[in-house]
A and B are shown apart, each in its own frame.
Chain A
Amino acid sequence: MKIDITRAGFLTSVQDLGRLGFRQFGVSVGGALDSHALRVANLLVGNDESAAGLEITLGGLRLRFVDDRIVAWCGGGFDVRLGSTSVAAGHAALVRAGQELMFNQPKVGCRCWLGISGEIDVPIVLGSRSTDLRTNFGGFDGRALRDGDTLPLGRNSERAKTLINTLGEEKIAHWKPPHDWSSPAQREPALRFIRGVDWNRFDDVAIQRFTNEEFSVTAEADRMGARLDGPELKRGDNVTGPAAASSMDLISEAVVPGTIQVPPGGKPIVLLGDCQTIGGYPKIAHVISVDLPIAAQLRVGDRVRFHEVSLTEAHQLLAERERDLAEFRVGIKLHVR
């Protein structure tokens, strides 16, 4: 009922769907930066969608299994191997006791999420098993995994047991989710956005640049957000003098994962799951929920573009994806009887 971390890799942490209900106390939502990917991976291995799995950044992870488990992963373009067999994104695979699963560096994107049947059974802290890496609590000892760690696993569900029998021969399932769920990373990422409350504070040139030009992801990119470089986005409300120089020229208010804020230097930051709960920089836009999986893959050097959509469209797209997920859930059950 455990799993050994032979090599922890660049940055691997236990994450579930995040920590809700504590933002009034300054606690970030956190969780899998692409929560949809984790939900899908969990469905594929017979877990509850909200089960805790691993978020793997840039690979280098090696896991040794001590009992039979079903695994599945979704996310960036990683090369994942089970012995000499390649395990493609979105395919459930049977791992036998003693086997090692290996995550090599991704060719595109930077993160992926691994579901393991029985889920990672770390204690629930403030309603979640996610690791808060900024404040160091939750997950496994409140920290990223290290070489030699042993993680507790829960029991295989009945569905997982059935899967273990079903996959006994072929080892890797032939069914899989839609490609953009299992592999959302894009070589030239485009993010759809809706306007932020401070959209009108930016001048026409800034708006033109934001919607038409390309931005590149800098090395300052982590679970809190990705700082971009590119054409300067100037504010049009001409704040000069001491007010502009102060770091709080707007009154701080809530920010959310997906918020695109613009500090005084004019270079935008795309906020991700571990972002602070409040911020004082103008919010030019917000990445829509269904595109957060793409935002979660931004890595240094990527060139990103922004396309405006309406709020209605954002909500329609989300509802469609949820309908497709409901169908997928039913489809999966047909394979596991």
Chain B
Amino acid sequence: MEIAPLGDSALIVRVRNQFEDAPEQTSNEVLRALRRIADARIPGVIELAPAYTTVAVFFDPLRVMNDAARADHVIASLTQKIREAFSRGGRRKQRDTSARLVEIPVCYEAEFALDLEHVSRQSQIDPIEVIDLHCAAQYRVSCIGFTPGFPFLSGLHKRLATRRRSIPRKEIPAGSVAIAGAQTGIYPMKSPGGWNIIGRTPLHLFDPRKDPPALLRPGDRVRFRAIKREEFDRAAN
């Protein structure tokens, strides 16, 4: 496990160097690391954020210095406390890392599935089968980012892997479900983007009036369920 400074107010804890070779195991290790660092309640740490292979630890250097560390000892002191959190955590009973399973209804009809034809051509799979493959798999949120609430989901069927669009769209509608490379994701709000859009969900993935503001969190398991246009309209009303 590597711990490196990310500027003067954050650290990156790198749990593994690879992700694609073992997404499930990597996600579990990252979430376990996240929990151990959180449980340690290290003075001066403001917040934590996991991503693929890493946990970012954001801290207030002034508070760390107030907590007895000299200016030349801030990183060393935090690093030591993080490492201690790991050695302590080793004996503790492991909590379940499988987390929640969230079902996302998706309407894959032509009006919403702007790039379904393109994905179908590139993968040489019938559009109906593309939808079936997309709905058959169980995914995992490996990271939230790009825009607030945007989930990067691992677990896409290999045959559906599709390159990004060479020219990104200036505006993708909110709720668009898309694939790029080995990942699938959902655009929570209207934004530019280069992923291939194959459907749309009526769910709101980000709502700043709620706490937590995002529907999904790192580690969640996700399934897609195909819905008809009528159900989409009812849910979206």
* Chain A residues close to B by CB (< 8 Å): 20-28, 125-126, 132, 134-138, 194, 196-197, 246-248, 251-256, 258-259, 276-278, 283, 286-289, 311-312, 314-316, 318-319, 322
- Are B143 and A278 neighbours in the complex by a CB distance under 8 Å? yes
B148 CB contacts on chain A under 8 angstroms: 22, 25-28, 132, 135
- Are A24 and B61 neighbours in the complex by a CB distance under 8 Å? no
Given contacts A247-B164, A318-B61, contact A24 B8 (CB under 8 A): no
The listed residue (A24, A135, A286) touching B49 by CB distance below 8 A is A24
The listed residue (A251, A258, A283) touching B52 by CB distance below 8 A is A251
What are 7 A-B contacts with C-beta separation under 8 Å?
A20-B46, A23-B58, A26-B144, A26-B145, A251-B52, A256-B9, A286-B8
A25 CB contacts on chain B under 8 angstroms: 144, 148-149, 206, 212-214, 217
- Are B213 and A22 neighbours in the complex by a CB distance under 8 Å? yes
Given contacts A24-B218, A278-B145, A319-B71, contact A252 B61 (CB under 8 A): no
Main secondary structure of the interface of B (DSSP, over half): mixed
**Which residues from 166 to 213 on chain B have a C-beta closer than 8 Å to any C-beta of chain A?**
181, 189, 194, 206, 208-209, 211-213
The listed residue (B46, B50, B194, B208) touching A126 by CB distance below 8 A is B208
- Are A289 and B211 neighbours in the complex by a CB distance under 8 Å? no
> In the complex, A14→B214 CA distance in Å?
23
B12 CB contacts on chain A under 8 angstroms: 197, 253-254
CB distance from B162 to the nearest CB of A (A): 13
CB distance from B58 to the nearest CB of A (A): 7
Interface centre among A126, A251, A253, A254 (most CB of B within 10 A): A254
Given contacts A25-B212, A288-B8, 19 further A-B contacts (CB under 8 A): A22-B213, A24-B47, A26-B145, A26-B147, A28-B148, A135-B206, A248-B181, A251-B52, A252-B143, A252-B152, A253-B51, A254-B49, A255-B6, A283-B6, A289-B8, A289-B61, A311-B8, A318-B61, A319-B62
- Are B7 and A125 neighbours in the complex by a CB distance under 8 Å? no
Given contacts A125-B208, A137-B208, contact A24 B144 (CB under 8 A): yes
* Chain B residues close to A by CB (< 8 Å): 4-10, 12, 14, 19, 46-54, 56, 58, 61-62, 65, 71-72, 74-75, 143-150, 152, 164, 181, 189, 194, 206, 208-209, 211-214, 217-218
B211 CB contacts on chain A under 8 angstroms: 126
CB distance from B92 to the nearest CB of A (A): 22
> In the complex, A27→B61 CA distance in Å?
22
Q: Give A242's nearest chain B residue, CB to CB.
A: B163
- Are B52 and A252 neighbours in the complex by a CB distance under 8 Å? yes
CB distance from B171 to the nearest CB of A (A): 14
> In the complex, A254→B47 CA distance in Å?
12
- Are B52 and A253 neighbours in the complex by a CB distance under 8 Å? yes
> In the complex, A84→B152 CA distance in Å?
55
CB distance from B53 to the nearest CB of A (A): 6
CB distance from A12 to the nearest CB of B (A): 21
CB distance from A36 to the nearest CB of B (A): 12
A20 CB contacts on chain B under 8 angstroms: 46-47, 58
- Are B8 and A23 neighbours in the complex by a CB distance under 8 Å? no
CB distance from A321 to the nearest CB of B (A): 10
- Are A26 and B149 neighbours in the complex by a CB distance under 8 Å? yes
- Are A134 and B147 neighbours in the complex by a CB distance under 8 Å? yes
Q: Give B145's nearest chain A residue, CB to CB.
A: A278
CB distance from B22 to the nearest CB of A (A): 13
Q: Give A194's nearest chain B residue, CB to CB.
A: B8
Q: Give B5's nearest chain A residue, CB to CB.
A: A311
Given contacts A253-B12, A288-B8, A311-B8, contact A319 B65 (CB under 8 A): yes
> In the complex, A246→B182 CA distance in Å?
12
- Are A253 and B71 neighbours in the complex by a CB distance under 8 Å? no
A126 CB contacts on chain B under 8 angstroms: 208, 211, 213
B206 CB contacts on chain A under 8 angstroms: 25-26, 135
- Are B72 and A256 neighbours in the complex by a CB distance under 8 Å? no
Q: Which 6 A-B pairs have the closest CB atoms?
A: A254-B56, A286-B7, A278-B145, A25-B214, A314-B8, A137-B208
- Are B54 and A253 neighbours in the complex by a CB distance under 8 Å? yes
CB distance from B216 to the nearest CB of A (A): 9
> In the complex, A248→B195 CA distance in Å?
13
CB distance from B68 to the nearest CB of A (A): 13
- Are B51 and A278 neighbours in the complex by a CB distance under 8 Å? yes
A196 CB contacts on chain B under 8 angstroms: 6
CB distance from B79 to the nearest CB of A (A): 12
- Are B62 and A318 neighbours in the complex by a CB distance under 8 Å? yes
B217 CB contacts on chain A under 8 angstroms: 24-25
> In the complex, A115→B6 CA distance in Å?
31
> In the complex, A89→B125 CA distance in Å?
64
Q: Give B189's nearest chain A residue, CB to CB.
A: A135
A136 CB contacts on chain B under 8 angstroms: 189
The listed residue (B74, B181, B194) touching A311 by CB distance below 8 A is B74
- Are A251 and B47 neighbours in the complex by a CB distance under 8 Å? no
Given contacts A194-B7, A289-B7, contact A253 B53 (CB under 8 A): yes
- Are B147 and A322 neighbours in the complex by a CB distance under 8 Å? no
CB distance from B189 to the nearest CB of A (A): 6
